[in-house]
Amino acid sequence: PADQRMIALTFDCCPGAFDARIATVLVAERIPATIFVTWLWMRRNPEGLALLLAHPDLFAIENHGELHVPPVLGDRTIFGIRVAGDLPAIRREVDDGARAIRTATGATPHWYRAATGFYTPSVIPEIEAMGFAIGGYSLSADLGASLSAARVAARMASARDGDVIVAHLNQPLRPSGLGVVEGLRALQRQGTTFVRLDKVATTQPSYA
């Protein structure tokens, strides 16, 4: 409806810990979200994963790769992370991440989001051919969990209808997580409807 705002809320679980500050609010307020997890994160945070899996009506668990390696060709680093380098390494990163999710959850992921959010353009069709839609985003709430709580909250409150928000669920010691909580409450006060990616996307998107 024209007078309502719908937002897809997504979180990345890169290697790190589990931000229960955010997760408990999502559960308590019944806010659905799409969670992109790495195998490394699942291995290190079994209790956090268990909490997410206890609420399948709220959380969709999707693929953020096995080792949090950017699907980028060549010899370089992005934000200090060395890229995959070649196509076989990219396929391993994506496929092994999906396999880890199937093992942990019993469900097959259908979305993939790159570590760092960067892709070599020619790699995108290769990932799609593996059966994944690319989990992009239009609004980065916390810029890699690097912003202050106030800035994160303000960025989230400015979201527009149709935005896909990304924030991080793996940095419990950073102030950005408190900003996510405040941003969620601001969006709720504004009457926002939250949706999961798997509930609104009915066809594979085209990146031609």
pLDDT (tens digit per residue) in 19-39: 999 999 999 999 999 999 999
Residue type, 192: T
pLDDT tens profile 117-148: 999 999 999 999 999 999 999 999 999 999 99
Model confidence band, residue 1 (pLDDT cutoffs 50, 70, 90): low
Q: What mean pLDDT do residues 84-103 have?
A: 96
pLDDT for the residue 205: 47
pLDDT for the residue 206: 43
The residue among 65, 36, 30, 67 whose CA lies nearest residue 49 is: 36
pLDDT for the residue 168: 98
Global pTM reads 0.93
Report the C-alpha dihedral over residues 101, 103, 106, 108, rounded to 10 degrees: 40
The residue among 79, 98, 77 whose CA lies nearest residue 145 is: 79
pLDDT for the residue 138: 96
Q: CB neighbours of 52 closer than 8 A, spacing ≥ 6?
A: 23, 35, 59, 61
pLDDT tens profile 148-182: 999 999 999 999 999 999 999 999 999 999 999 99
Q: What mean pLDDT do residues 6-12 have?
A: 97
pLDDT for the residue 4: 80
d(CA 120, CA 68): 15
